[in-house]
Structure 1
Amino acid sequence: MYGPETLSDHMVEWRRHLHQHPELSFEEKETSAYIAEKLKKLECFEVHEQVGGYGIVAVISNGEGPVVGVRADMDALPITEQSSAGYASVNEGVMHACGHDAHCAILLGVAHWVKEHRETITGTIKLIFQPAEETADEEGETGAEKMIRSPLLEDIDAIYALHMCPWLRTGEIQVNDGPSMANNDEFHITIFGEGAHAGYPHQGADPIWMTTQFLQTVYSMTGRRMHPLEIGTISVGQIHAGTASNIIPDRVDIYGTMRSYTDQVRYQLEKELLEKINMIHSLGGQYQWKIQKGEPALINDEDLNEVVRKAAANFEIYNEPFGMGSEDFSHMVNRLKGTMFFLGCGLEKERMLHQPDFDIDEQALQKGLDIMVGILQSYWKNQEG
């Protein structure tokens, strides 16, 4: 039997193992096997593997009652870790820089807690370990999209998730009703001109010059064309052009992202971008474009957030949106009643998400377990009442 202290120690152990052995999206074979082994040893769950890829769904039931899901993501990022910690990544160029290792450790903690209290459960609990949150495959799908098609998730009445939050300290959480993370759409635009010698620019059609004109209009869109009270942003992350300093190239490739909270703003950003790119014709060039629809906005359920707030009554709670990042848990929330909260884990020196020095205060693992257990207990108590 695990007591609260020893279970906390085990969560640290599990988190450090996963942190040391990260795997990229759609490659989580060893991560999945490690988690499945831990779940099977408990001998109280139906453990379903290979759900939507390397996903796992662990199910435990005790009579009639609500079906409650708790989800954690498993994949890591293509980042080279900069850390002297003994549990730093041993897989070169791959790192848990978004806290998914901690998410899995907490959910394993939930599994162990459930085993010790399984006789008190009324209904069904489904623990969902999801692959591929960070990256879409060639079909444009992430792990949540693939898992949500499984019949194992169809009957879930409420689904919960947490996310590590380095800008809050341990003992603090962030909760938000409604739109909380952004729609995420990626674009790739190619501007075609005509190459020439840099000393004779008039003999060509310079796509770099065209790009600079185009980008000025793009960066003014949200300030001049969007309603000031609406939330939306557009950013360019990559520009590729040219092979030499004295050659005007014949093309420029531009890659960027559009973020928004509502479908209306999502549509307007795309519409404005495509209208602005038409100016390339008047500058003597041609263009091609492609927009890849990514995750929809995360819309948190207000009723489920009240369950979270009650379970976290002893925490400092900040009620505000999580920012313009995206989260593929939104695909599950689009189909199921669900919510996500951000769990404070910040160190004295803030380590931001998706950065090579990211790390957490591991005391947050127990805090995350406490809230998840409180959430589950609220469903049993409601049934008893």
Structure 2
Amino acid sequence: MNDQWITEHAKAYFQKTIVHRRQLHQHPELSFHEENTAAYLEAELSQMPGMRVKTGVGLETAVIATIHGGDGPTIGIRADMDALPINEANQCLYRSQNEGVMHACGHDAHMAIALSVAHLMSELWQRGELLGTVRFLFQPAEETTDRSGKTGGHYLAASGVLDSLDALFALHVMPEYPLGVVLVPDGYCTANVDEFTAIIKGKGGHGAYPHLSNDPIWMLGAVLQALQGIVSRKTSPLEPAVVSVCHVTAGDGKTNNVIPSEARLQGTFRSYSPEVRAQLVQQFESVLSIVKSLGGDYQLLINHGEPSVYNHQSLTPIMKRAIGRLLPEVCIRPDTFGLGGEDFAHMAARVPSTMFFLGCATEDGVKRDLHAPIFDLDEQSLLIGVTVFAGTILECLHHPEQIPDKKQMTC
């Protein structure tokens, strides 16, 4: 299989890739409710020769498609499916037809890219030139947890669908970067996402007699000041870390002369390494203990969310080689996703994985950020995404010795 075949056939499917993306963009669905999206994916995949499609794996709206071409590795491609509760402000022909719901995080593009890669693998299968197995995992509910605090990535990782995979790849569009830039970072590339609720407990009283109370708002002031030192003075400047207080409440907000008994602050920790993740919680606890010296007490609740995605150090060179050969004009950069979270991490913890990030800024110069009501992308980026995935898959299938052993995973 030569590089010219990949690039030519990716271009041949390009208009269909756009059709897929626009169709999915017009009909977004929220997490755990992707019924019509799943039906569309199942219908498209079922028409591809050689493709075996299963639904309801891990979650009811999950769609798993596998194509087997003989002895060789099994390579996975993951694409998330859900949209966000956002009113789309764009006036394009393919704007959302589902009021209050929008594909503002690019999952429509992720699915469209994966569908076109599936078309390419099906064509190789028909030619008898697919030297292994490729599995496409269309995952619901990346954006939101259910009542048990789990996202779709957690359910698919626990379903057994990853057990036979030798390597797994995913992507995320990046409107902060221009068309023609692809980010392939090594190691940790998205954040550990943890949320906290801290309750500072004092003694309420009359606002005119503060000396008879133990004011939790006064104690809160000391805590907020000390919190600023957790990252700036207690964390290595070489380690990504954030402590953000995003919500503060005290009292009922209806009376101006009552000192409340409690003050509450809520926010998020973000980090990359497991060590810093644990350190942030430990340091936060130390800061909160200040209130005890002031006569108060505290309660700390931590909700541990998604872990950090770890790009395996043996897979990123494979992807970079494929990009260098097939797309020599593309700029490969080592930048990470920043301190945003990604539930692909649950899968990457079980099988050697790599996620790349696809520059897709529009030519109009307008900042169309992720999760914004005006989010959009340059659709030429879809062609790059298809080519990167297809080239990486075939690089793995033709050179299985490059794929790391699951038993030697380090993350």
Query: TM (normalized to structure 1)?
Result: 0.93
> Which SS does the other structure have where 1:290 is aligned?
strand
- Out of 372, 383, 401, the position equivalent to 1:366 is 383
Number of the residue aligned with 2:409: none
Number of the residue aligned with 2:200: 191
Number of the residue aligned with 2:355: 340
Q: CA deviation at 1:16?
A: 1.7
- Out of 135, 138, 152, the position equivalent to 1:143 is 152
**Structure 2 segments unaligned to the other structure (5+ residues):** 1-7, 402-411
Answer 1 or 2: which has greater strand percent. 1
Q: How does 1:270-349 map to 2 (within 5 A)?
A: 270-313=281-324, 314=328, 315-347=330-362, 348-349=365-366
Q: How does 1:36-55 map to 2 (within 5 A)?
A: 36-53=42-59, 54-55=61-62
**Contact persistence 2:168–2:352 (CA under 8 A):** yes
CA change 1:43–1:117 in 2 (3 A) is closer
Deviations 1:296-348 (A, max 9, x none): 12111122111111121121111233211121111111110110010110122
Q: How does 1:169-188 map to 2 (within 5 A)?
A: 169-188=178-197
Alpha-carbon distance in structure 2 between the residues aligned to 1:294 and 1:221: 20
RMSD: 2.2
Q: CA deviation at 1:5?
A: 4.7
Alpha-carbon distance in structure 1 between the residues aligned to 2:348 and 2:19: 31
Q: Which amino acid is the alignment partner of residue 365 of structure 1?
A: L
Number of the residue aligned with 1:243: 253
**Structure 1 segments unaligned to the other structure (5+ residues):** none
- Report percent identity of matched pairs: 43
Number of the residue aligned with 1:31: 37
Number of the residue aligned with 1:71: 78
Q: CA deviation at 1:59?
A: 0.4
**Contact persistence 2:189–2:336 (CA under 8 A):** yes
Alpha-carbon distance in structure 2 between the residues aligned to 1:86 and 1:71: 28
Alpha-carbon distance in structure 1 between the residues aligned to 2:352 and 2:151: 19
> Which SS does the other structure have where 1:153 is aligned?
coil
Query: TM (normalized to structure 2)?
Result: 0.88
Alpha-carbon distance in structure 2 between the residues aligned to 1:282 and 1:21: 56
CA change 1:206–1:125 in 2 (3 A) is same
1:18 aligns with 2:29: no
**Contact persistence 1:243–1:249 (CA under 8 A):** no
**Contact persistence 2:308–2:341 (CA under 8 A):** yes
- Out of 355, 367, 370, the position equivalent to 2:372 is 355
Aligned length: 384
Alpha-carbon distance in structure 2 between the residues aligned to 1:148 and 1:180: 19
